[in-house]
Amino acid sequence: MAYLIALDDGHGLGPKPTLGKRTPNISGVGVIYENQFNRAVVNYLDTELKRCGFRTILVAPTDVDTPLSTRIATANRAKADAYISCHYNAGGGAGVETFYHTGSSRGRRLATCIHNQVTKGTPQKNRGLKSGNHLWVIRKTNMPATLIEFGFMDDPGLVEAKRMIDPAFQKECAVETAKGICEYFGVSYSTSSSSASSTSMPSSYPGSLIRKGSRGEYVKMIQRALGGLSVDGIFGPKTQNAVKVFQRKNGLSVDGIVGPLTWNKLFP
């Protein structure tokens, strides 16, 4: 049977984003929450891995910040073959670092395969492999596990911080991680036939939350997809209500905000 990969997008967005896990206020952009990046990468990674023949399980599929114990139990119960946790760092440094358990040679190899691909294929600086023995998702999971901090939310100049909402960068992180996972399992990585154009396709998630007060083409697309609304490109109370109804019908958390999960249900 195909290998099963547990995918963990660190932290959460709803009903309130995880406190402290965000960028400083970036001029012209605002605040970016860590989970916006983590969940986007996990969504892309999910697609990449399935195309390469893996099965996946999302251990935190909703907007809420799922407790670590739940994430770990979900992966252990499903007997996943590997556990991949996606994060973005804070503390004022720069670059990507990848964690593994020093008592697990398979965990180290998994982390090494992914880290080498990510540092080769993205513009991020290389901070190296690190012991993750203190990290719950690495210590308490039964399978080889790794946690990747793809960059810093508060790097000097906020260069890496701004990349968090760049769909091309999010996708690149997912592609490189998928290549590393393929290498670890000895599975050949198959390229997406439309990979060159897919990040600019209008149906792919724009990379930041669309909510009350948002305006523009993406809002028009949402209004058209929901139906029964005037397509004016202005996200007002009527659009918000229609989003909530749609979320309730589709088993999503009902916050009236279009994030990646709602977007992907609207534009499958």
Name the site residues for Zn ion (rule: CB under 5 A).
10, 87
Shortest Å, Cβ 29 to Zn ion: 19
Is 262:43 a contact under the CB 8 Å cutoff?
no
Q: Minimal distance in Å, beta carbon 214 to Zn ion?
A: 26
Give the phi and the psi of residue 104 in degrees, each rounded to 5.
-120, 105
Q: Max alpha carbon distance in the chain (Å)?
A: 59
82-89 and 145-152 beta bridge pairing: parallel
| Closer Cβ to Zn ion, 10 or 132, answer by number | 10
Q: Which is nearer to Zn ion, 95 or 233 (CB)?
A: 95
Ramachandran angles phi, psi of 258, nearest 5°: -90, 100
Q: Shortest approach of Zn ion to residue 34 CB, angstroms?
A: 5
- Residue 123 CB, nearest approach to Zn ion (Å): 20
Those residues with Cβ within 8 angstroms of residue 134's Cβ, 6 or more apart along the chain or in another chain: none
For Zn ion, give the closer residue by CB, 153 or 254: 153
Angstrom distance (rounded) from CA 34 to CA 135: 18
CA distance 9 to 25: 22
User: Quick one: 39 or 101, whose CB is closer to Zn ion?
Assistant: 39
Q: Are 167 and 204 in contact (CB under 8 A)?
A: yes
- For the bound state, the minimum distance from the C-beta of residue 142 to Zn ion, rounded and expressed in Å, comes to 22
Q: How far is the CB of 173 from Zn ion (least distance, A)?
A: 14
Strand (E) positions, the chain? 4-9, 55-58, 82-89, 96-100, 126-131, 145-152
How many alpha carbons fall within 13 Å on the CB side of residue 257?
15
> Which is nearer to Zn ion, 44 or 88 (by Cβ)?
88
Q: By C-beta, is 10 or 180 nearer to Zn ion?
A: 10
Q: How far is the CB of 132 from Zn ion (least distance, A)?
A: 12
258 beta partners: 210
Q: Give the up-direction half-sphere exposure of residue 58: CA atoms within 13 A in the CB hemisphere.
A: 19
Question: Is the link from the previous residue into 15 a cis peptide, with omega within 30 of 0?
Answer: yes
- Select 86 or 266, whichever has its Cβ closest to Zn ion: 86
Which single residue brings its beta carbon nearest to Zn ion?
87
